[in-house]
Structure 1
Amino acid sequence: MDRIVNEHEVVGDIQKRTYRVKNVWKTLQGEGLFAGRPAVFVRFVGCNLWSGYEASRERDIQRTGASCPGWCDTDFTKEGSTSYSAAQLAQTIREVGGDIRFCVLTGGEPLLHIDAELMNALHAEDFFVAIETNGTLSLAGACWSEQEQQLMAPDWIVCSPKLVQERLELEFFDELKIVVPDYMPRDFTSFTAKQRVHTAQNAPLPLLWIQPEDGPRLRENQRLAIELALEQPQWRVSVQTHKILDVE
């Protein structure tokens, strides 16, 4: 799959990595375990499954085998984006968020961009870092630190898989979100074993989510999600509270 070429800027004689960002904004996390929590979102440009442009939807479905180019409505194109160094981006997130120390890295596909340097910069600013990924890229490929010889991964990983489980490279995750009907829980039974287990009152937290695809068939998809959850109670129905509350 195509990856975005890392950008660099030259400062003196030193070449520095930069990160191309569409937007940084303060809002509420709308989904999952942290729904309702104040957060700073960072949207990186680019995705390895869809170009982001209308003209390439069908072509990218054929190219990647993913269904999401047919209905994705996120704007992660490069137009209007900004390049930051790791320190600049961490500082910008802090300025936008004020006292908020929860940031969510999303896209597009953020694992095309993030690395150990950015993770260290965000942790130096005392952020709890979450990521929303499609699962097709590895954490080690993005966030391994050669200098520290360890994985500098985000603190919380939400995966919404967009390819069959045999083609997913993500090593582990905390929450799994399946968008029905194009993707179904039964198709990811092996992949769910990669979930890191979190507990409350000595019992595992149920962090497997079924999310109805938005759009013209939303009502039908909501009924399907409810039926699937009632049949398989280890799964929960995901509610997009940011849309109910009308926040970005």
Structure 2
Amino acid sequence: MRTYRIKAIWKTLQGEGFFAGRPAVFVRFVGCNLWSGYERDRERDARRTGANCPRWCDTDFRKAGSRAYTAEALIAALQDIGGAIRFCVLTGGEPLLQLDALLVSALKQAGYFVAIETNGTMSLRQACTDPVTGKLIAPDWIVCSPKLPEEQLRLEFFDELKLIVPDYRPEQYARFARRARLHRLGGRPLPLLWLQPEDGPRLEMAKRCAVELALAHPAWRVSVQAHKILGVE
């Protein structure tokens, strides 16, 4: 029986992007294709992948302390932890290493609005195409935060694009940004393009950089991590 290795499930507020402030139940998948998650491997994996994120990522997506769930068991856990909340965010690590059409379909059938946060290196169609029908069973909402150059990204489309500055900048992702699904507000296109300051020792410099880049690229907006301001996980 198909199972998914999950590090944590928790109820909180979505802290970033279009749905900032919305109650959500998060699911953190084990594993990432850019960093092992271990301190000793930070520089090795940065050199191996060409990504800067292993040097500053503070997320624990390691297998230790995780649990394997079937789709049915995971939904039961979401209902137990999240209660009436029907907005779930699948994150990692890299969720598309494990996510498939079976789980997305089961979550939707259980009434969940399914969002994912991905680094863009994985193909959505390869991960989430139903092997029986050949139909793509995509999440309802896709947030991409790329960590590699745009020519190495395989994600076919997304709803929000989030760049962590100062390492990642709009001019580096001009072509990739065109893969965004179009959303409108008042009949006008609403680009969901975000510049998020890197948290950590470079935060003050990163905040100044984000503001300067937004002023130079008006289609982009500065992302504020509301969950950290509010003191929630």
The equivalent residue for 1:12 is: none
Q: CA deviation at 1:206?
A: 2.9
Contact 2:170 2:217 in 1 (8 A): no
Is 1:151 aligned with 2:136? yes
Is 1:62 aligned with 2:47? yes
Task: Please show how residues 132-211 of structure 1 align to structure 2 within 5 Å.
Answer: 132-211=117-196
The equivalent residue for 1:229 is: 214
Aligned residues: 233
Task: Please show how residues 1-248 of structure 1 align to structure 2 within 5 Å.
Answer: 16-248=1-233
Q: Distance in 2 between matches of 1:206 and 1:145?
A: 30
Q: Distance in 2 between matches of 1:17 and 1:206?
A: 37
Q: CA deviation at 1:124?
A: 1.3
Contact 2:128 2:137 in 1 (8 A): yes
Q: CA deviation at 1:146?
A: 1.7
Q: Deviations over 1:79-98 (max 9, x none)?
A: 11010001111121122111
Unaligned 5+ runs, structure 2: none
CA RMSD of aligned residues (A): 0.6
Contact 1:94 1:125 in 2 (8 A): no
SS in 2 for 1:93: helix
Q: Distance in 2 between matches of 1:160 and 1:90?
A: 26
Q: CA deviation at 1:148?
A: 2.3
Q: Distance in 2 between matches of 1:46 and 1:80?
A: 13
Q: Distance in 2 between matches of 1:223 and 1:182?
A: 13
Q: Distance in 2 between matches of 1:124 and 1:31?
A: 26
Q: CA deviation at 1:243?
A: 0.3
TM-score by length of 1: 0.93
Q: Deviations over 1:121-151 (max 9, x none)?
A: 1011100000000000000111000212200
Q: Distance in 2 between matches of 1:43 and 1:121?
A: 17
Q: Distance in 2 between matches of 1:191 and 1:145?
A: 26
Q: Distance in 2 between matches of 1:33 and 1:100?
A: 17
Unaligned 5+ runs, structure 1: 1-15
Q: Distance in 1 between matches of 2:198 and 2:153?
A: 21
Q: Percent identity, aligned pairs only?
A: 65
TM-score by length of 2: 0.99
Q: Distance in 1 between matches of 2:160 and 2:206?
A: 21
**Residue type at the aligned position of 1:164:** P
**Which 4+ residue blocks in structure 1 deviate beyond 3 angstroms?**
none
The equivalent residue for 1:3 is: none
SS in 2 for 1:63: helix
Contact 2:157 2:179 in 1 (8 A): yes
**Residue type at the aligned position of 1:28:** L
